[in-house]
Amino acid sequence: NVFVPVVVTMSIVTFAVWFFIFGNQSLALTTMVAVLAISCPCALGIATPAAIMIGVGKGAENGVLIKNNAVLEVVKNLDTVVFDKTGTLTKGKLDVTDIVADDRRKILEVAAIAEKWSEHPIGQAIVKKAENEGISVAEPESFDALPGFGVTGEVKGKKVLIGNRALMKNNNVSVQQLENEIEKLESEGKTVLIVAVKGKAAGAIAVSDTVKEHSKEAISALQKMGLKVIMLSGDTRRTAEAVAKQLGIDEVLAEVVPAQKVDEIKKLQSQGRFVAMVGDGINDAPAITQANVGIAIGSGTDVAVDSGDIVLVKDDPRDVATSIKLSRKTLGKIKQNLFWAFFYNIIMIPLAAGVLYSTLGVLIPPEAAATSMILSDITVVGNSMLLRRFKP
């Protein structure tokens, strides 16, 4: 809409100057045609799509799917990366490690029955532990999941609560007698569930998740890029900080219930931060959508994957750094291509118009102008092709 009319106008002006002012009809025709031939809207037109096509293709080769090309512009401003803990930095496969109770088997049975209908990994881990120990897990009389707190149900006519301190506090259940054991387990990075029966704390069950093999390396790579890394978790602060310490993360947002995750992202953005959110679960989807750049783990839920601007196919946290590096490289190539395309036209069009002919005798014939235009396109494509050499 702009470039072509400007070039056509310049070619007419060039003809008019050489024909009417200098009286040289041959030179007027030659320079007019040369201006039209040497101008290169193609280089401007392919500068962005060529780099994006090759960058996105290279990302796919490395297990990084860039779904939203607009994030390439945003990534350059990123200064903060927020990771959800479970399933993103950890494997999300929980195992029961400790049971604190006078009657260990009885508490495990009660907890397993109460959690039998739970879809949460913690509840499933408790049921699995009971079954592995030969306990018959009956159906609860009632069940209610309380996201961010735990579950409540009725087992053999007794009301059972299983969850965190907040759930116990909301139901006026004292956990003072278990506090020392709970603190010890949490300091080891374990998630502790308190089991209350008929309004009294009867025991505690600890579950542990294994940190992914390359999580620490991934965090280190992001920090070396100058990015602030934050871990987001629904665990208690003591548990979350123990895991963060293993990974070298120095900022933790703990005890965040699922509904508050998006609020934490908004809070960071209100501080002027450009935030990438990395998650895998359905509870992460709103936060992934809210973040400036949403990164979803491909092995996670469909909702999380659909919410992400970038999807990591291989379930490898190191690919977060790869996706950011590749996005920045691709944006860099786009800028280089645009610079070359503008620079070429700014320099070559006046030369084709004959601005140096009167003083230096420099004149670009139409056939050379056409060749120059083709070379300009080749340069842009060739520069974009250098992205093929990108290595994570």
User: 275 with 350, same domain?
Assistant: no
**Using one digit for the tens of pLDDT, what is the confidence trace for 62-77?**
999 999 888 988 999 9
Question: Any idea of the CA torsion for 107, 108, 110, 113, to the nearest 10 degrees?
Answer: 170
Does a structural domain hold residue 356? yes
| Per-residue burial over 96-106, b = 16 or more CB atoms within 10 Å of its CB, e = otherwise | bebbbbeeeee
The predicted pLDDT at position 4 comes to: 84
DSSP letters for 25-40: HHHHHHHHHHHHHH--
119 and 198, same domain (yes or no): yes
In a domain, 324, yes or no: no
Residue at 32 is within a domain: yes
Domain CATH for 286 = 3.40.50.1000
Predicted pLDDT of residue 300: 59
Residue 111 located in a structural domain: yes
- Pair (86, 215) in one structural domain: yes
Decide which of 143, 177, 208 is a domain's last residue. Answer: 208
- Helical spans, DSSP H, in the chain: 3-16, 25-38, 41-61, 71-75, 104-115, 121-132, 165-170, 179-187, 215-224, 237-247, 261-270, 285-290, 302-307, 318-352, 357-360, 366-385
Looking at the structure, do residues 245 and 334 belong to the same domain, yes or no? no
Below-50 pLDDT ranges, the chain: none
The CB density around residue 358, as the number of other CB atoms within 10 Å, is 9
pTM, two decimals, is 0.83
List strands edge to edge, sheet with 64-66. Answer: 64-66, 310-312, 293-297, 275-279, 80-84, 228-232, 251-253
Does some domain include residue 333? yes
pLDDT for 270: 98
Residue 55 lies inside a defined structural domain of this protein: no
In a domain, 245, yes or no: yes
- Residue-level pLDDT at 301: 63
- Statement to judge: residues 223 and 198 lie in one domain: no
At 368, list the tokens.
């050379």
Who's near 378: CB < 8 A, 6+ residues apart?
A: none
**End of a domain among 161, 179, 208?**
208
Query: How deeply is 2 buried, as exposed, middle or buried, from its count of CB atoms within 10 A (0-12, 13-18, 19+)?
Result: exposed
Report the candidate in 247, 346, 335, 351 with the shortest Cα–Cα distance to residue 55.
335
- The answer to whether residues 274 and 188 belong to one domain is no
Q: Measure the N-to-C terminal CA separation of the chain; round to a whole number of Å.
A: 39
Position 207 scores a pLDDT of 96
* Same domain for 126 and 151: yes
Do 216 and 69 share a structural domain? yes
Determine the residue type at 40: C
Report d(CA 24, CA 344) in Å as an integer.
Answer: 27
Name the DSSP letter for residue 87. Answer: I
Cα–Cα dist 214/199, whole Å = 43
Q: 257, 287, 313: which is the final residue of a domain?
A: 313
Domain count, the chain: 3
Q: Would you state the pLDDT for residue 201?
A: 96
Same domain, 192 and 276: no
d(CA 96, CA 130): 10
Catalytic annotation present for 263: no
Of the residues 79, 84, 306, 377, which is catalytic? 84
Residues 186 and 219 placed together within one structural domain of the fold: no
Q: Are residues 102 and 202 in the same domain?
A: yes
**Both 84 and 216 in a single domain?**
yes
pLDDT of residue 23: 87
Full residue range of the structural domain in which residue 198 is found: 95-208
Does residue 54 form part of some domain?
A: no
